[in-house]
Amino acid sequence: MIVNQWVPAAHRGDAIGDSARTVRAMLRARGLQSDLFAMTIDEDLRGDVREFSDPAARTGDVTIFHFALPSPMTEAFASLRGRRVLQYHNITPAQFFAPYDVGMFRLAALGRSELRTLVGRVDLALGDSDFNRQELEAMGFDPTGVVPIAVNTDRITTAPRRPALEKILSDGLINILFVGRIVPNKRIEDHIRLAEVYKRYVDSYYRFIFVGRYDGVPRYYAQIRALINQYEMLPDRFWFTGSVPDEDLAAFYRWADVYVSLSEHEGFCVPLVEAMAADVPVLAYAAGAVPETLGGAGVLFSPKDLELAAEAMGMLVYDRPVRDAVIAGQRKRLLDFSTERVDAQLWAALAPFGIDTRVGPASPGERE
């Protein structure tokens, strides 16, 4: 049996593409023929990921389509003869982009509109969280289920050291980390406001580090910079790194004292899992799928009281028993995202298709 996957773009370090490659390893370990097809492929992934124009992309007995943005793949997927499984990774609501970027607003709106065209045209609709599954159900998809992203934590826990970068990060300042795109739903302006409260009431020896692209919504990034100037903060206490290689990302996690998420919309939030894998205590605003992903681990708060958040952040940094207890809870939660458990959820979801498998889950040495 052939079980293929489609992703619009395959980029090294991209959570969706990395997850699809891990799922491909699971499928192959079960004795199935499986390939991954994409419209856009990083040069170093060519030969590993196949071109969507390849006729073999349409030959799957089952095809899993990873949907996160509008693309020509959507209609092609709906017209396949084989069984069709939609894996929905969420689309940021368009209203977050309205004040900053008309193009991004239209893209997000088009994405949700295009998603609706698949209602009644798929055999199974999966969310990578129950938050996403509920959105699919509300649109009219049936049946639905949940299979989480297969997060590649090895790139964080086994990466080589970066001595020059780590020398800077170990200079005595408290490193407060965020990983992700600098876009409006992440509410980076609230991080800046949190820094002001933290400095005023808790500690002035801090550094906020934002790892991720900041050129996607230029007007929004300019607003963040203006807010830093408005508060008359030291610019070197706020690092906006842009995209970084895995070795640098691992170093930022390794030296982070706290991971902070103040986002107001998340469909899963992979960095929460990465932070747990790196033993970085997580402080997060309870929005979207964040409570579900943390599953009782980390420290959640709501409503968005930044004075409370600053106090909690100080406790996670300086109160060793509290910090140790939070990390212990996160280690327990991390087990739920192991390859073995994701593999089990994947096969439970695909069971109705009568897929015959000859061997068990991939062992660590077999994973890609």
pLDDT of residue 356: 62
| Residues forming beta bridges with residue 65, ordered by sequence position | 6, 86
Q: Which structural domains are found in the chain, ordered by start?
A: 3-150 (3.40.50.2000), 155-335 (3.40.50.2000)
Q: Of 185, 171, 184, 179, which Cα lies nearest the Cα of 237?
A: 171
Q: Are 241 and 209 in contact (CB under 8 A)?
A: yes
Residue 60: C-alpha distances to residues 5, 77, 219 (Å): 9, 11, 43
Q: How far apart are CA 324 and CA 327, in angstroms?
A: 5
Q: How far apart are CA 257 and CA 260, in angstroms?
A: 10
Around Cβ 172, how many Cβ atoms within 10 Å? 6
Q: How far apart are CA 208 and CA 237, in angstroms?
A: 6
Q: Are 263 and 288 in contact (CB under 8 A)?
A: yes
SS3 91: coil
Written as six digits, the tokens of 40 are 């856009």
Q: Are 321 and 273 in contact (CB under 8 A)?
A: no
- Counts of helices then strands in the chain (DSSP H, E): 14, 13
- Tens of pLDDT along 329-366? 999 999 999 999 999 999 999 998 887 655 444 444 44
Written as six digits, the tokens of 65 are 């389509």
75 has a pLDDT exceeding 70:
yes
Q: What percent of the chain has pLDDT over 90?
A: 93
Q: How confident is residue 13, by pLDDT bands cut at 50, 70 and 90?
A: confident
pLDDT of residue 354: 83
| Residues forming beta bridges with residue 176, ordered by sequence position | 208, 258
SS3 201: helix
Of 298 and 13, the one with more pLDDT? 298
Q: Cis peptide leading into 8, omega within 30 of 0?
A: no
Mean of pLDDT over the chain: 94
SS3 272: helix
pLDDT of residue 364: 41
Query: Phi and psi for 174 in degrees, rounded to 5?
Result: -80, 120
Written as six digits, the tokens of 47 are 């030969």
Q: Are 190 and 262 in contact (CB under 8 A)?
A: yes
Q: Of 38, 62, 80, which Cα lies nearest the Cα of 126?
A: 62
Residue 5: C-alpha distances to residues 49, 273, 357 (Å): 10, 23, 17
Mean of pLDDT values over 235-241: 96
- Tens of pLDDT along 118-131? 999 999 999 999 99
Q: Are 333 and 276 in contact (CB under 8 A)?
A: yes
- Tens of pLDDT along 142-170? 999 999 999 999 999 999 999 999 999 99
224 has a pLDDT exceeding 50:
yes
Around Cβ 75, how many Cβ atoms within 10 Å? 12
Which of 53-67, 289-303, 351-365 bottoms out in mean pLDDT, i.e. has the lowest? 351-365
pLDDT of residue 51: 97
Q: Of 267, 307, 301, which Cα lies nearest the Cα of 286?
A: 301
